[in-house]
Chain A
């Protein structure tokens, strides 16, 4: 059974940093792209970032480019999102999602975690 468990969310001040983790199990982690998708309270879904199965290719939304860094440790079956220079508009539930293929663009995101809430506020 595929499981994705996010952790690391919480309250952080504007300008601060936070690292999210997503522990994966139930599939060959290195064979699939992974993504982070966020959802602000009461709002729609927003794609944040993706990484190829090998970790060699990374992709970012313009809204987080230069501030967020996606990475993965295939030996630990874990996905990460390092978030720096956080802003109030980064407040959202952050979901970890498994891609349906090695490359994030095809086959959609077929499994999602339950999400972790990040609140940026003073």
Chain B
């Protein structure tokens, strides 16, 4: 199972909106509404930001939103803040009854 494809880096200024894409296939992202997004700060454990494509766990700011179209899922961060600078990973359930993570995206707040 190959990793889902994410851009290596995305950057934006405070207050701006950015979108991170996560491209898979019909056997994972496109086939199921089980896409999650995780935020990871250096040296820390990942944190769940979005589950099942577009649902936010309690405590996650509504600046974070998720969507999906075909084989590509997206995470949008609106009103970018300094503390949003981190690595972001998508994950998806697959037709092989496994999970697969994305390659990861480093978000830089300019």
Contacts and interface: CB of A to CB of B under 8 A. Distances in A.
A100 to B, nearest CB: 6
Interface string B11-45: 00000000000000000000010101010100001
Given A95-B45, A114-B45, A106 B101 contact: no
Contacts of A44: 3, 89, 101-104
Interface string A22-48: 000000000000010100000011110
A108 B101 contact: no
Interface in B54-100: 55, 57, 89, 91, 93, 97-100
A: interface residue count bin: 20 to 34
Given A44-B3, A95-B45, A105-B34, A110 B57 contact: yes
B32 to A, nearest CB: 7
A80 interface: no
Interface string A92-122: 0001010010001111111011110000000
A59 B34 contact: no
Interface of B: 1, 3, 32, 34, 36, 38, 40, 45-48, 50-52, 55, 57, 89, 91, 93, 97-104
The 7 closest A-B pairs by CB, nearest first: A108-B51, A108-B36, A105-B93, A112-B45, A47-B99, A44-B104, A45-B101
